[in-house]
Structures are given as structure tokens and as C-alpha cells.
Structure 1
């Protein structure tokens, strides 16, 4: 054998060993293997696609990627999903019938860890009225702990009795061995190769549009993670497949709140109306089906974990936000609203929409203030809208047709996210003790102009202004200051 042939043989052997190592890391042979080694491979200026590609509706918003801080990239680009994907842990010890994988994010400034989970092999215990997983819990090993993975019992609670901790404590019991009320039969008696999925929904509210959208967005991010992360038990296919799993997925509402405006958005990845756990338990046939056939239960990321909640007290210029823009487009498409709807043509008038608050934080003398705008800007179409009186699709259509969105700080300014990208202005009138920057930052993410003023608070009779009284105090702004804000906004959108 020549020296060159021997060298070629050694090179081939080394390449083969390296290839086998990479494959073994990507596709572990053990079904209990940690999936934390999967890496998304996306970065703001990269041209390649990840091993499991992002859903195609992200494509229009990935490029061009602008230069911005890592703070922005880690929260509003696919790097946010990458953080969860590279911090996955299997909480069930070897020998457990079920599997519980949780993905953990570390983007919060205060160091808190956010979690979303998928439990495989769950059944409904009719006696308990809860889902159960036959899982002997294990603690993270030293390597997992060093990488920031936390024990199961440290998954934290969220506000308004929501989030994974609340679901585990009240609706999904994780224990070794079958529960007393279990009547499980083999999953193979269901649809072979096509597991049933249950999305467990514990809402934090049903009326505040900002809170509702934050948790619907985190639900979508949960599915995006599962759609792009290989599942070792599925030979490297994703944990959730649009093709194979969509028709086998049911959203199950755990709370007893009324439906509210946005209940239908929980069907965006199921294609069927949500059902309430209480109704399942009251229907013997449905209850038996959920008790007998194991299914995959999805415990979504809490609404309180939405990165927009981290973007609210300090100015951040996150101009490249593909996760936000993909979310907005999905919601619009769900309601049949085209990407072109609301475009202003030629010399058509500018539309100014005033958010008419009828509860707290009303604007004193708002009719006179708007009349002054109409007198000075006769070419501007002015409308005062109480968004709470409109269906949600109608609210979106109003926002898309708006050039200037004007209002006192509050949930009505959530509609900033549905204004046309790069084509509008937001005017936020903020109570004097309110230092919230969230709508300013949201406007920047949408490429919109933003104008604001801190104004006088009007306390209720016999009360004094306190630090947190901005939540309910009405506000007053002088005519000159008001006109200065509105004039600037109209000028900004006139070019």
C-alpha cells in the first residue's frame, strides 16, 4: 500500500468516525435521551436554513436582517426558540411508561427560567378529574444543572393562576405508576403511528386584549418549537407535524372563564373548536375515550413569559422582529384579512383613530380636543372608536386602515401591532406616574413613528395621586400640547 493510499484510508476512517458521532448526537438511540443537543442553526445574518426548517410563514420576515442588539435578537427572532431547544430536559427516569420533556428559556433579565413541556402517554383520570403521566421524576444531573436546567419542582408559577406550574399542580399529575382511576389501554389501539394531542389551556383572562394576545402568541411559539425540534421517539421527525398531527389535536380549556373575544384563536393549530375539561368529564363517552387512549399533552409557554412583557420599562430599538410579524400575519390570515387590506391609495385622506376609553383612564374634554384637530386638519378623517364594541376581526380591520392611532395608555393601543408595517404613527398619552415603554417599543418593532407625553392625572374625589393610581385615574392634557403631538404625527405620515 502506498503512503498516499494509506493516508487516504486514515482520512476516510476519521471522517466516518466523525460522521457517526454527529449522527449519534442528533438522533440518540435511547428513547430517553436528552434532546438538548439539537441546535436550530439560525442567526440574524445567516443564509442557511435549520435542520428542521421554520414554518414557511416566517420566510417573508427573516430577511433583510438589520443590525440590532443581542437583547432584540434573543427575544424577537428565531434565536428565542433556539434558546428553548438547546435547553431541553427529560424529567422521567428510565423505566417510566410516560415521557415528560420540558424546554426552558433564559431570556428574562432577572434570571427566571420559563418552561414549556410535552408529556407523552398521558391519560385522563376520571376520579381525579386530571390528566396523569406514569413518570418517575428525576432531577437534573450535574451537567444539566450547569447548563441552566432546573428541577421539575422549580418550574415557577405565573400570575392569574396560569402557566405550566399551575397546570401541573391542578390538571396534570406526574407520578410513578398508574393512578387509581386509570383505565388505560394500549395506545396502539388508537391510530397507529398518529398519536392524539391535547393542548392544555389555562387562560389568565378573557377580556383584556393585550393579555389574551400575549398568551395566544406564546401558544403559537410553543407549537413552532415542537414543529421544528426532532423527537427521538419519532426517528428524528418533529414532536409535532402539521401534516400528521393537526387533525388529531384538541385544545382543552381548563379554566371556567367565559369564552371572550379571542377563544377561536386557540384553534389555529387544531382546526376544531376547543372543548372544556368540565364538559369532557360530564360526557361519559368523551371521558372514556380520554381515559383509555394515551395521548400527548402540550403544556404551553405562559402568556406572562411572552418576551413583549420584558420589553416594557426600558427603551429598546428592536427593528427586526420576525416572530412578532409572523404572529400578526397568522392572526390576520386566520380571519381572512389579506396583507394588502387597509392600504391607503393615492390622495385618499389620512385616517386618525382615537381609542375611546369608557372605563378607566378617560381623556378629559376629548370631544373638544378632537374638534380642534378636525378644524385644523380638515383633510384628515377622524374617528373615535370604542374597540370593545367591535368583533376582533373588525378591530384588526380598523387598525390596518389607521394612519395615526391616538389614545391614552391602555390595552386599546395593542392595536399598534396590527397597523401596517412602516406606515403610520402612534400617539400615546401617558398618566404622569406611568413610565411604561411597551407601546413605544412595539411601534418601533413595526416601523411606526411614535409620539408621547406624560400628562396630569385626575384623581377621584377625595383621593390623591399615588404611584400606581394611573391604572384608574382619568387624565388631562392642555390643548397646545395635544395639538403639538397630533400635528407631528400627521406630518410624519403625510410624506
Structure 2
């Protein structure tokens, strides 16, 4: 830790470095520089001459722990005139970008929650919301019997749900306090019928004893098996991007619960030491379980292998978490709209966790003395680029100093895909799940995206999620369009076996992407005519 401070009465400026966590204090103002953030934070407590350096837990929320095992402390004096005000960081992202991608996303969830069961209910349920009014909940005293048959429910709790609409009408104070608080039936539904509302539809929620199993009729928030459970209703969609967003939002859910304070205990709803105790459970009857490599990544959410609900024994669960569904991810936002967001607070934390899980040491650049490596994604089912081999062969002849490789990602493992992309300078591919690998490209690499047919303005808005991700990660982003399909519906962009890309368009796209690599890292080069 590095702390710069004057004696108490003259103290004006403190700069704290904690691994990847940076905060500047200037007078009574604080600015968050974490992972490229430029955001204002609540002020820390001013140190005294006998005090310890400021702690990362001094504010309302606990900061991400430092990656360093220990931190040395050094201090020196500075004068107010040594740091002119023009050097103060300014906010670079707009308010919506900050709300979605900075620490404010987690802070909002952690500070916006209300009880959903009426006073006197034997079970409890606290629901939290994002600034876009998407919900996650934690229920206490939940009976479960996966073997139950109708008319009995498999899951239930003794809770009389509050009617916030009626409560808000009781007084102006209640209306203000319950502003934006949704009744369960008004909560939004996620992709493929996911989300808290869809999960609770299958529960018996009643103030009376529930019928999941007679021997669990006494299941209450005070009388239960004391376990933690994360009940996940997945989309069961094979798309890599969809599956990653579900996994990511489950992590976000647990992060927010570790930050939120339970008013009844004045402690976080979830302690870090309790996370490894949480059992992830997939709830749907049609769940196939862990069928591919990405499914196994769920192990990194709590460290435990997920179970299927149908395999559980009847019991009274202690605390049940219903997470944010995948479609609530901030990275689904602006799917069809260009944005210029740069705050990487959420993104860097996720990448750090993935690399730790895979035992990957992330490096900023490859060896700049090596050839530029161009990886072209070869699709084998839909939206295949016609004559791709010939197009790439011409690019190879135009760039003899570069290495070109055409790869069918479906033919190699997910880990091999990530390792391949981590050693790629230019990634070329059609809009689709394969471009999710923009997450792993080294900084300053190039992403060359070929949009789907008939997705050109003003006829139809091109997909923008990979563009927005590339810009956030500091990559070079290039885009080209294939030939238009006459008579095709622009919203049927995922269909069709072949896509036609003009030779000069493909070559211009690759040329621009490779030229963008001339000064990657320590490289140096110049633009020259291509013969």
C-alpha cells in the first residue's frame, strides 16, 4: 500500500494503491480509478498522525481484496500546490455506462432491497434490484421435495407476499419508500422464461403450511437445515455468450449479497467464508446437468459442483438464493446500439476469476518480435463465408510476414479455443457466438467482424455487443458487411447456410486489422503499399 499524507490538520491528498484497486482522496472528495474507473466514491476517514493507513473496508462497502499477499507502506509529504486541480480525474463515461459497468452497479443492488413477506410470516424473503429493476432474492425457510407430485408443489415457503401497490397508496411516505419496488407478478421475465418471477411461479407461497411434504410443514426461517443453496433456472441455450452471461450474473449475485447489510444483524447477508458452503442447484426437469466444458465453469461460482434439483432429498432449506438471470447482464445492454463505455470494473473482475480458474497468466501483449498471427473463424453450419479458403489465401499472399490460420472452433475444446485466442493478434469472424472470444484477446489486438447479411443501416441495425466489448477492452475494432440477400428478412439474420463477402471487402478488412497492429506494445512499423 502506498499512502501519501500530511499531518492531520494539513492533510489534503491521499493516493492508495491496493493491487488493482485505486482511490484518490482530495480534500473531502474521493475518486475511484479501479480498472480504468473515474468515479466519485464516499470519502474515507481522514487519517491521524497515530492512525493506521486507510482500510479498504472504511467506506460503506468492502472493496475487492488485493491480489497481493502483503503490502508495504511508505509515506511522504506533499503540498497542495504540487497537485494542481487540473490533474484531478474527470468522469469519462456517461451516467448509464457508469451505472452498468462501474462499482455503482454492485453498489446499487446492495443498497436497494426490501422484505417481500409480511410481518408474521414463518419464512422470509428479501429481494434486491438493479437500477433497471431486475430482481434477485434470498429466501429463508424453504421446503423442498423434488419427488412431490401434483397437487403438491416441489418447493414452497410460509410467506404472505406483500402487496406493494396497495402499501404505496397508504401514504406519500410509503409511496416514496416503495418507489420502483415491484410485486412478484410484475417482475420482468428473462430469456427463455428465466428470472425470479418464473422461478417463484412454481413455488407454493402461502402464509399457511405449505404442501411440499408433511414432515416439513414446520419449515421456517428459524427452523431449517442451515444450508445455503443457489437455485438456478438456466436458459439451456447452447450459445457460448448466453451461457457465459448466466454464469457471470450468478457471480454478481453473490458479490452483491456480500456487500449488502442485513438490518436485522448489521452484517452482510453473505459472508465470504460462507460462499464455499453454497450448493448450486439447477432446477429444471429437463436439465441435462454438466454436459460441456463451460458447464464445468459453474464450479468456480462457489467451488462446488452443481447438482440437479430432481436429485435432492426432501428437506427444509436454510437460505435459498434466486440469482439474476443471464439476460440481465449489463453486457446484453445496447445489443443493437453503439456505445462508448470504458469502465472495466466488472469486466476485469470476471476475467480475473476465469483466468484463475483456468490457471492462465494473462499477459498484456505477446512477443512483439514474432509474426502477426491472424486467426479466422471457420463456421461449419450456418452463415458460412463462401470461398473462405481462397479469400484467406489471397490475404496470405498480401501479408507474407503474417501467420494465417483458419480454425473451426467447434472442433477443439473450449480451453484450446481460449489458448488460441490468447495468442492471436487479429481475430476475424462472422457475427455469432465465436466472437465471444473477444473477451480473451490480448490488449491492442484487432477484432474484424463480418456482420450478418441485411444488417446494414438504414435497413437494419447491425449487432453491436462485440463492438462495444472490444472498445471497452482497448482493442481495435473493424467491421465489414457481406452482400445483401435479396428478399431476405433482416431479422432472420441467423439463418442461411452461405454468406457472400466480396474479395475487395474482405481484403480491406484484413488489411486494416493488420495495419492496426503495427505499433502493438513495443512494436514499430509503417504503413506501406500492398502489392
Is the TM value for this pair above 0.5? yes
CA contact (8 A) 1:457 1:470 kept: no
Cα distance 1:203–1:133, how it changes in 2: closer, same or farther (>3 A)? same
CA contact (8 A) 1:206 1:260 kept: no
1:158 alignment partner in structure 2: 190
1:392 aligns with 2:392: no
Which stretch of the first structure deviates more once superposed, 121-130 or 407-416?
121-130
CA contact (8 A) 1:406 1:427 kept: yes
Report deviation, 1:257.
3.5
Report deviation, 1:457.
4.2
Summarize deviations over 1:211-231 as a string: whole Å, max 9, x none: 001111111111110011112
Alignment partner of 1:224: what SS?
Answer: helix
Size of the aligned set, in residue pairs, is 426
TM-score by length of 1: 0.80
Cα distance 1:269–1:65, how it changes in 2: closer, same or farther (>3 A)? farther
Alignment partner of 2:353: what SS?
Answer: helix
Cα distance 1:100–1:471, how it changes in 2: closer, same or farther (>3 A)? same
1:114 to 116, 120, 134: 134
TM-score by length of 2: 0.75
Report deviation, 1:65.
8.1
The alignment's C-alpha RMSD in Å is 2.5
Aligned mates of 1:355, 1:369 — CA distance in 2: 13
Aligned mates of 1:76, 1:160 — CA distance in 2: 25
2:108 alignment partner in structure 1: 83
1:137 alignment partner in structure 2: 161
1:56 aligns with 2:79: no
1:67 to 73, 92, 98: 92
Aligned mates of 1:320, 1:203 — CA distance in 2: 28
Aligned mates of 1:64, 1:196 — CA distance in 2: 45
1:480 aligns with 2:518: no
CA contact (8 A) 1:351 1:402 kept: yes
Cα distance 1:124–1:257, how it changes in 2: closer, same or farther (>3 A)? closer
RCO comparison, higher one (Cα < 8 Å, 6+): 1
Cα distance 1:134–1:189, how it changes in 2: closer, same or farther (>3 A)? closer
Which stretch of the first structure deviates more once superposed, 136-145 or 447-456?
136-145
Aligned mates of 1:56, 1:355 — CA distance in 2: 37
CA contact (8 A) 2:483 2:502 kept: no
Which stretch of the first structure deviates more once superposed, 155-164 or 359-368?
155-164
Summarize deviations over 1:355-409 as a string: whole Å, max 9, x none: 1111111111100011111111122121222222222222221221111110011
1:425 to 446, 466, 471: 446
2:227 to 193, 196, 216: 196
Report deviation, 1:348.
1.0
Unaligned runs of 5+ residues in structure 1 are 1-40, 108-112, 281-286
The structure where helix makes up a greater share of residues is 1
Cα distance 1:315–1:206, how it changes in 2: closer, same or farther (>3 A)? closer
2:270 alignment partner in structure 1: 240
Summarize deviations over 1:319-347 as a string: whole Å, max 9, x none: 1221012112211211111223x841141
Alignment partner of 1:159: what SS?
Answer: coil
Aligned mates of 1:65, 1:182 — CA distance in 2: 61
1:449 alignment partner in structure 2: 476
Report deviation, 1:129.
5.5
Which stretch of the first structure deviates more once superposed, 326-335 or 47-56?
47-56
Aligned mates of 1:64, 1:354 — CA distance in 2: 40
CA contact (8 A) 1:219 1:301 kept: yes
Aligned mates of 2:175, 2:328 — CA distance in 1: 21
Summarize deviations over 1:159-200 as a string: whole Å, max 9, x none: 212111111112x33221321224236777877xxx311111
Cα distance 1:173–1:65, how it changes in 2: closer, same or farther (>3 A)? farther
CA contact (8 A) 1:226 1:239 kept: yes
